[in-house]
Structure 1
Amino acid sequence: MARPSPQPPQAPRAKQAPPSPDGASLHEFPPSPWLLALELRAFWEFGALLPAWPLLARAPKGDGHAVLVFPGLSANDMTTLPLRRYLQSLNYQPWGWEQGFNLGPRAGVLEDARKQLIDTYESSGRKVSLIGWSLGGVYARELAKDLPHMVRHVITLGSPFAGSHKSTNVWRLYELASGRSVEREAQSYELPIAPPVPTTSIYSRSDGVVAWQGSIQAPSPANPHTENIEVLASHIGLGVNPSAWWAVADRLAQAEGSWKPFAREDKGRLHGLIYPDATRKS
């Protein structure tokens, strides 16, 4: 089968970000220095995987479809290895993004990610799920908009797609690493618009890197298969947080074409405590 050649990113388009679900304006500032300092708790989250493993192993098993996992800014595939090993244990075929360190959408990065999605889809003969941590989630969402017929589900972990381009504590690092203006990059894509496939945003209100309001997917009549799942986590720990892992496994296990919203109060599993109500205003 002939493979379509990679296409360059779309030309800049004027857009207006949608309002947040509670009607307030989207957050314009990064998390406080106090929340940033609390990112050190990521080590505890990683350590919590071992005692949580007996429960995590009971998550719904997958159907063997492929999953591409994109790392965050300045991170590489080693950071997503624990999550990918977990997904492999649940009968998925997880792959890293295989481009080394994520230094932003430099020349060729998005094109190579697009080619990887096409190759994975064609080799497996099935739709591919995409998971992206932080900036990696922005890549996943844009790929799904570009190739929706190849994507089964998009899951993002603390990804800044709906807030101000300076509502993170790493926007300067982004500009340094990528050599691009974060404001100009944000204007090149309609980031707040969800891709036309089932899309889940997993976020934390105690995220010390990305303002949590920027990870909220506003409801869209054009795509009712979108949701926000709040977890108790740091930004750095989202990829190794037991509750985030369970939510990822629960979402991926849904049969293709039979999407249902995440049930946070699920038959006595303490979901109501582990997963706060994402619609609350405070």
Structure 2
Amino acid sequence: MSFIFEALGVSLALLAGMLVLMEVGRRLGCARREAHPDARTQLGPVEGALFGLLGLVMALTFSGAATRYDARRMVIAQEANAIGTAYDRLDLLRPEEQPPLRDLCRRYLDARIAYYREAPDTPAHQAQARNVQQLLDRLWKETAAACDRDPRGQVSILVVPAVNELANIVTTRAMTSQLHPPGVIYAMLLVLASSGALVAGYASAEERNRSWLHHLGFALIFSVTVYVVIDLEHPRLGFIRLQASDRVLEDLRTRIQGPGQVTAP
């Protein structure tokens, strides 16, 4: 929940900051109008360029966040396919070699499910990561040993790559969870939003009556969009979650059966 409060705090701070800057801009515009009653702001081209750039950066940032969110969901499906393939390939080993490896594969899947249920960067999450790596190392060693003991050489050609793919997909999924836009993008959004609020407030001085609805609507829409972008970038911490996608792993655990239960989160 701390991440949710932090993200909401950032959005509310941005909302308040933009409202303050619009008020500052309006007062500057009103002061100029009083000093030069016949002058005009002439901010049309500036406003168009500024808000056009702000919209472009905001659209690219939102699109990137949505793309990375979809990529994280696809990697979950890839991992479920990789584990299911490795489990099925164990059928190629000799019958006496299969039971312990199947049990180890089920335990590995249970560990992966438990890993994703823990909040990132917590002690429990790190402990589950170590457990996952230990089970993966053991599964790899025992599978390789079973293939060495099998007189049929073609078995290792099919089984070993399938188990090796489990390690590859772990790395891929870890990398996708760490992909975020550089901090300079957020800084640029902050600068553009602040500049846009100031310019919008300055231009509103042309009207004698202040339109709080327009000011609040502009600031609110932008701050909510920024919050959604942050939430999309961290889909295991905020309101937007990947739990629905994780169910493919739980469905796989149900399919391969065996000892161990997968409880609902």
Q: Give TM-score, length-normalised by structure 2.
A: 0.23
- Higher helix share goes to which structure? 2
Bigger fraction of residues in strand = 1
Q: Which structure is richer in relative contact order (CA contacts within 8 A, separation 6 or more)? A: 2
TM-score normalised according to structure 1 size: 0.22
The structure number with the bigger radius of gyration is: 2
